Amino acid sequence: MDATQTNTLDRDERWAISVPEAGRRLAISRAHAYRLVASGDLPSLRLGHRTVVPVSVLQAMLAESLLASGRRTGGPAGTSGASASGHLVRRLEDGLGGGDETDGGVAC
């Protein structure tokens, strides 16, 4: 972990967030966030009866998506944050499909 990541984590105070909060940050439904956790596509930690997503995981996923988006379009990475994060959501949804609003059996 480099100094930039450490500083970001220190400012946020919370190093891990709930699955519904991770879904909000990724602009996906709560149910879809739980499906991603259940399938392993969204790495998470089980702390007692609670499932949380490390903030650093979300940051890394978004950074990876931005870099991949830049390589694919031939433009500089990060030229359009909105389309890159939209790509991340589409990529995650494509991996799971479906759209029902169940929790996928994952407890929070």
Q: How confident is the model at residue 83 (pLDDT cuts 50, 70, 90)?
A: very low
Distance CA 36, CA 98 (A): 11
pTM: 0.55
With H, G, I as helix, E, B as strand and everything else as coil, classify residue 97. coil
Enumerate the domain spans of the chain. Answer: 8-95
Distance CA 20, CA 33 (A): 7
The answer to whether residue 81 scores a pLDDT higher than 50 is: no
Q: How far is CA 1 from the centre of its chain?
A: 18
Distance CA 101, CA 98 (A): 9
Token pair belonging to 17: 């967030």
Q: What's the farthest any 2 CA atoms get from each other in the chain?
A: 45
Higher pLDDT, 33 or 104: 33
The pLDDT tens digits for 22-43 are 999 999 999 999 999 999 999 9
